[in-house]
Structures are given as structure tokens and as C-alpha cells.
């Protein structure tokens, strides 16, 4: 196959491809005039879970976490960040999209003639031009351009033999980077870094979601503590009111002094005040939990009170050693995943700076074909050059120009090398040095993250050990306080104990019960803290990252 026939075939394919492209664009022309149909978050009424009983909503820890992942505004902002990052990758990949251009121009000029050689006392030119082009870049550093241009020139210049004159031209240009960007265009580095950034943002979402789950667990069990504390205070108040009633009866029959009644009244009032503060604390913690698990502007929009449905049961001791927990955390913690991804991104950037150190050597090759057509006007110049008469007209037009162009009788070749060689190259060298420093910093941040993880695991294990020992000790104290209260109550009923001694026994039991409840709740929260420290929060809650990211996305 000859080069001319090959060029003609390429031109036909190009024109056919351009037609198909324009046709496809016409079918989806709306994309140029309206917003992109994107995946977006849809937040309406908050997702509510739990069991409603009267004016109370009984909520399990898992249900509270599900509500938080669906309704919490801050976690939905992080979810949007991931979606935006994915569109950033799409934006950068658009660099390789084909580009087409089409232009139509019309120009009319009438100019005075300064010389007889200009072909008349004045010359009028009407120039019409049409051009279309196609260009595309590939990740290998290759660029291909194909262009077609047609120009129709109608003139009053009687020296012109073709009126109108139609010029056509088609050219194909090939460019290839040979040093900088050879085999991998600079855009590829940006796309790869952007993909790493999407992965980093997903891990950041997982980290923020794990922190949110930990906050929900903390407030949930604090609500359990607050509710338990209210119950203890109510029981304590009932005991104080019972003692007060007994002392009033005894005072009425003369078997107790007025001072004992006053002491009972003072203690009952004090416990009433403690109950009021305990109920307020319960409401305050409840508002904090509602803020985490809903998108209400006012927590009191939540109908009724939240009551924890899960019992405050003590989990089993962790059976894994510190080393095993540390290895699991390094493998699954979002922070270590982010650090590793950041190292990979910085290394990609380092590769890009190494590429920029090289001189820019570009190979350029091109091929052109030309055509000329139009109505040929023959004039008789034997009687002079001023307004020579027309002696013959040979019809012609666009078909002649295209036929001449396609036959390849008039053509041109182009081959060249372009070299850009920075003399000192200080900018590229500085970028390369900075990229090396960034890689070192990313590696140090990875080590720092691992160090922090180890400390967090140690702290969680230490707190679990401490609160287990604390719970065992205070459980013994509660049993002793209960036995003492029974004994003091019997002595008080027999008239052998004073009101103060009975009140002190009640207070000791109240204090011991409060401390035991605090130790139980702290121990449960310590296990949640250990899950977060080891990166097992999602696993414990049976949550998959892909499912969590898809919540509310339509």
C-alpha cells in the first residue's frame, strides 16, 4: 500500500470518527448545559432505631452506632470528601480525552490599490475558511494531531486566475517525548498520586468513623452510668425518707430527741439535692449522645428519653499478648494505612521529579497533503495589464481541490528533534531534593504512628487491668457496706444505734455502689478503647468500609 493511499485512508477514518464523535455529542448535548449527574449524599429525616416504650426509647449500643454512621453530620462531611476525591481522579484522567475543534470564519476586505500590480484601482477579497481538528494524548508521552483546513477566496484582483480559489490541506503530526516523560506522561504521576489520595481519604473516613464510634460508646455507657446513678440516688433518698419517718414517729412518742429528726431531715434534703443533680447529669449526657447519633439542631427534638438496652456486662480479658495486638494494630489501623499510602504517594512524586531532571527531547514527525481548485479564468494580457478581457472560463470548485488533495500529488514531510536543556537545572534539582525529604518525612511519620499505637495499646491494657482490680476491690466493699447497713438498721430499730450511725452506713453503701458502677462502666469503655487502639472497631461492630461509605449515597 502506498503512503498516499494510506494517508487517504487515515483521513477517511478521521472524518468518519469526527462525525461519530459529533453525533455522540449531539445525543448527550445536555452535558454541556446542566450539572453532572453525580453520586451525592441525601440527608432527610434522621434514621431512628430502637424500641419505643411509652415516652422512652430503648436503644442498644449497636443501634446507636448505626444511627451515628447514618446521621452524624461530621461523618457525612468526611463521606463527601471521599466522593470528591474520586471525581478528582476522573478530572485528571480527562487529560487523555480526545479533543476536537471546528472553526468557521468569514472575512470581507476592500482595500485601495497603491500599484497597478495589485490588480485594479481597488481590491475586494472575501475569505471564507473552515477547519476541523482532532488531538489526543496518551500516557506514553505520545501526542497525535490531525487537522483539515479549507479556504475559499473570492477576489476582484484580475491577476488571480482562480476566482474563487479553494485551497485544502490535511496534516497529521506525531510527537513523542524521548527523555522526559518517555513511556509515562507527567499526568500519569498526578493521576497515581490522586488515586493514593482517594485511598488516604477512605482511611481518614475510617479513622473518623472509628473515633465517632468510640465517642458514641463513651456517651452510651456514660448514659448507662448516669441512669444507674439516678437509681442509686432514688434508693438512697427512699432510705433517708424512711429513717426520717421513723424518727418522727419516735419523737412523737418521746423515744427520740428532736436533734435526730433534724439530722434525718437534713440528710433527706441533701440526698434530694444529689438526686436532682444526678437527673440533670443524665439529661446532659443524653443530649450529648443524641447530638452524636442524629442531625437534630436541638437534642430535645428527640422524642422522649433514651434508655440503654444493653446490660453493663464485663467483657472477657484479652487473650492476645501485647506483641500480637501491636502487629494486628499496625496491619489494620487507619493511621498506619494512611502513612503507608502517603509514603507511596511521596515516592511517586519523587519519580516524577527524577523524570523532570532529564532534558526535554521531543521527536516531531508530520505529513501533509494539499489541494487547489476553483473556477479558472483566462485573461488576455496582450493588450496590457489594466483590466484585461476574459477569453475563457473553465468551471471548477471544491471537488477539484479535494480530488487534488486526496491524490497526493502535492505533499510534504516533516521530521525533527527539539531539545530543551536547562543550563543549571536548579529548579528540577531542588524539586528532587524536596521530594526526597518528603519521602523521609513520610517514613518518620509512619514510625511515629507506630509508636503512638504501641503507647495507646499499653494504656488501654493498663486501664483494663487497673479497673478490673478496682472492680474486684469495690465489689468486696459493697458487700461489706451492705452487711454493715443491715446491722446498723437492726440496731437502730432496737434503739441501740443513733441516726447519725445509720446515715453513715447508708452513705458508705451509696458511695461503694457508686464507685462499683463507675468501675464497671470504665472497664467497658476501656475495652472499646482497646478495640480502637488495635484497629478492630469496625470488625467488632461487623462494619465494612465499603458499606459505611455507601450510607446515604444515592
The separation between the first and the last C-alpha atoms of the chain, rounded to the nearest angstrom, is: 54
Q: How far apart are CA 431 and CA 180, in angstroms?
A: 15
- Of the candidates 128, 210, 137, 132, which has an alpha carbon nearest to the alpha carbon of residue 167? 128
* Secondary structure element (H or E) that encloses residue 117, with its range: none
Query: Read out DSSP for 502-525?
Result: HHHHHHHHHHHHHHHHHHHHHHHH
Q: Is the peptide bond before 310 cis (omega within 30 degrees of 0)?
A: no
- Of the candidates 2, 11, 57, which has an alpha carbon nearest to the alpha carbon of residue 403? 11
Q: How far apart are CA 12 and CA 533, in angstroms?
A: 64
Q: What are the residues facing 126 on neighbouring strands?
A: 108, 154
Residue 7 cell numbers, joined: 494517508
- Of the candidates 288, 315, 305, which has an alpha carbon nearest to the alpha carbon of residue 50? 305
Residues of the chain with pLDDT under 70: 1-31, 116-119, 380-386, 392
Question: Span 51-71+188-349+430-541: which CATH code?
Answer: 1.20.1600.10
Exposure of 301 by Cβ count < 10 A (0-12 exposed, 13-18 middle, 19+ buried)? exposed
The sign of the torsion formed by the CA atoms of 503, 504, 507, 513 equals: negative
Residue 196 cell numbers, joined: 493514593
Q: How far apart are CA 457 and CA 418, in angstroms?
A: 59
Domain boundaries, the chain: 3-40, 51-71+188-349+430-541, 98-113+120-185+359-427
Q: Where are the alpha helices (DSSP H) in 254-333?
A: 258-293, 322-332
The sign of the torsion formed by the CA atoms of 66, 70, 76, 81 equals: positive
Q: How far apart are CA 204 and CA 333, in angstroms?
A: 10
Query: Read out DSSP for 460-508?
Result: HHHHHHHHHHHHHHHHHHHHHHHHHHHHHHHHHHTT-S-HHHHHHHHHH
Instruction: Please tell me the total number of residues recorded for the chain in this structure.
Output: 554
Residue 415: per-residue pLDDT: 95
Are 439 and 39 a contacting pair, CB within 8 Å?
Answer: no
Q: How far apart are CA 550 and CA 554, in angstroms?
A: 8
CB atoms within 10 A of CB 457: 21
- Of the candidates 105, 8, 95, 17, which has an alpha carbon nearest to the alpha carbon of residue 406? 8
* Secondary structure element (H or E) that encloses residue 115, with its range: none
Is the pTM higher than 0.85? The answer reads: no
Q: How far apart are CA 466 and CA 518, in angstroms?
A: 13
Residues 6 or more apart in contact with residue 97 via CB below 8 angstroms: 136
The sign of the torsion formed by the CA atoms of 158, 161, 167, 173 equals: negative
Q: How far apart are CA 231 and CA 279, in angstroms?
A: 10
Provide the pairing of β-strand 122-137 with 99-112: antiparallel
Q: How far apart are CA 76 and CA 549, in angstroms?
A: 9
Phi and psi torsions of 518, nearest 5°? -60, -40
Residue 92 cell numbers, joined: 485528571
Residue 503 cell numbers, joined: 446515715
Q: How far apart are CA 178 and CA 186, in angstroms?
A: 13
Q: How far apart are CA 416 and CA 135, in angstroms?
A: 19
Number of helical (H) and strand (E) elements in the chain, helices listed first: 12, 10
Provide the pairing of β-strand 305-308 with 56-59: parallel
Span 461-493, pLDDT tens digits: 999 999 999 999 999 998 998 888 888 888 888
Q: What angle do CA 72, 74, 77 make, to 5 degrees?
A: 110
Measured CA to CA in angstroms, residue 356 lies from 143, 190, 384, 553 at distances of 19, 14, 65, 40
* Secondary structure element (H or E) that encloses residue 123, with its range: strand 122-137
Q: Is 203 helix (H, G, I), strand (E, B) or coil?
A: helix
Residues 6 or more apart in contact with residue 299 via CB below 8 angstroms: 286, 287, 288, 290, 291
Q: Tally the C-alpha atoms within 13 A of residue 316's C-alpha that lie toward its C-beta.
A: 3
Query: Read out DSSP for 29-55?
Result: GGGGTS------B---SPP--SEEETT
Residue 470 cell numbers, joined: 478496682
Residue 14 cell numbers, joined: 478521521
Span 237-280, pLDDT tens digits: 888 888 888 888 888 887 778 888 888 889 889 989 989 999 99
Query: Read out DSSP for 78-109?
Result: HHHHHHHHHHHHHHHHGGGS-EEEEEEEEEEE
Q: Is the peptide bond before 219 cis (omega within 30 degrees of 0)?
A: no
Amino acid at each position: 500500500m502506498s503512503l498516499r493511499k494510506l494517508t487517504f485512508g487515515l483521513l477517511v477514518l478521521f472524518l468518519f470518527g469526527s462525525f461519530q464523535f459529533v453525533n455522540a455529542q449531539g445525543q448527550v448535548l445536555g452535558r454541556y448545559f446542566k450539572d453532572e449527574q453525580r453520586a451525592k449524599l441525601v440527608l432527610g429525616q434522621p434514621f431512628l432505631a430502637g424500641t419505643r416504650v411509652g415516652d422512652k426509647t430503648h436503644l442498644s449500643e449497636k443501634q446507636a452506632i448505626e444511627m451515628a454512621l447514618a446521621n452524624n453530620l461530621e461523618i457525612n462531611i468526611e463521606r463527601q470528601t471521599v466522593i470528591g476525591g474520586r471525581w478528582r481522579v476522573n478530572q485528571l484522567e480527562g487529560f487523555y480525552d480526545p479533543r476536537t475543534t471546528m472553526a468557521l470564519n468569514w472575512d470581507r476586505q476592500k482595500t485601495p490599490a497603491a500599484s497597478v500590480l495589485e490588480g485594479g484601482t481597488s481590491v475586494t477579497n472575501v475569505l471564507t475558511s473552515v477547519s476541523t481538528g482532532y488531538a489526543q494524548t496518551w500516557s506514553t508521552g505520545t501526542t497525535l494531531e490531525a487537522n483539515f483546513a479549507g479556504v475559499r477566496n473570492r477576489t476582484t484582483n484580475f491577476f488571480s486566475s482562480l476566482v474563487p480559489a479553494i485551497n485544502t490541506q490535511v496534516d497529521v503530526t506525531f510527537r513523542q517525548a524521548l527523555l522526559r516523560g518517555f513511556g509515562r506522561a507527567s499526568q500519569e504521576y498526578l493521576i497515581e498520586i490522586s488515586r493514593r489520595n482517594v485511598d488516604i481519604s477512605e482511611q481518614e473516613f475510617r479513622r473518623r468513623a472509628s473515633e465517632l464510634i468510640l465517642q458514641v460508646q463513651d456517651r452510651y455507657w456514660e448514659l448507662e452510668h448516669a441512669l444507674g446513678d439516678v437509681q442509686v440516688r432514688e434508693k438512697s433518698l427512699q432510705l433517708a425518707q424512711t429513717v426520717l419517718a421513723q424518727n418522727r414517729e419516735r419523737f412523737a412518742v418521746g423515744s427520740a430527741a428532736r436533734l435526730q429528726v433534724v439530722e434525718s431531715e437534713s440528710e433527706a434534703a441533701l440526698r434530694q439535692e444529689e438526686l436532682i443533680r444526678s437527673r440533670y447529669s443524665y439529661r446532659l449526657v443524653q443530649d450529648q449522645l443524641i447530638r452524636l447519633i442524629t442531625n437534630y439542631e436541638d437534642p430535645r427534638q428527640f422524642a422522649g428519653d433514651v434508655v440503654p438496652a444493653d446490660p453493663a456486662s464485663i467483657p472477657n480479658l484479652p487473650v492476645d499478648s501485647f506483641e500480637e495486638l501491636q502487629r494486628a494494630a499496625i496491619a489494620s489501623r487507619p493511621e498506619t494505612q494512611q502513612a503507608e499510602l502517603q509514603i507511596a504517594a511521596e515516592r511517586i512524586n519523587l519519580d516524577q521529579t527524577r523524570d523532570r531532571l532529564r532534558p526535554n527531547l521531543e521527536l516531531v514527525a508530520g505529513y501533509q497533503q494539499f489541494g487547489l481548485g476553483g473556477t479558472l479564468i483566462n485573461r488576455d494580457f496582450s493588450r496590457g495589464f489594466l483590466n484585461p478581457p476574459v477569453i475563457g472560463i473553465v468551471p471548477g470548485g471544491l471537488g477539484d481541490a479535494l480530488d487534488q488533495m486526496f491524490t497526493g500529488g502535492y505533499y510534504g514531510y516533516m521530521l525533527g528533534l527539539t531539545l530543551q536543556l536547562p543550563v543549571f537545572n536548579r529548579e528540577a534539582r531542588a524539586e528532587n531534593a524536596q521530594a526526597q525529604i518528603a519521602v523521609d518525612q513520610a517514613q518518620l511519620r509512619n514510625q511515629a504512628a507506630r509508636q503512638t499505637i504501641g503507647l495507646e495499646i499499653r494504656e488501654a491494657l493498663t486501664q483494663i487491668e487497673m479497673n478490673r482490680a478496682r472492680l474486684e476491690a469495690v465489689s468486696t466493699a459493697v458487700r461489706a457496706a451492705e452487711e454493715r447497713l443491715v446491722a446498723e438498721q437492726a440496731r437502730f430499730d432496737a434503739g441501740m444505734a443513733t441516726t447519725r450511725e445509720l446515715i453513715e452506713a447508708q452513705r458508705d453503701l451509696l458511695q461503694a455502689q457508686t464507685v462499683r458502677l463507675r468501675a464497671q462502666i470504665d472497664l467497658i469503655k476501656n475495652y472499646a478503647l482497646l478495640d480502637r487502639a488495635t484497629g478492630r472497631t469496625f470488625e467488632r461492630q461487623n462494619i465494612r468500609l465499603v458499606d459505611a461509605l455507601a450510607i446515604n449515597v444515592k
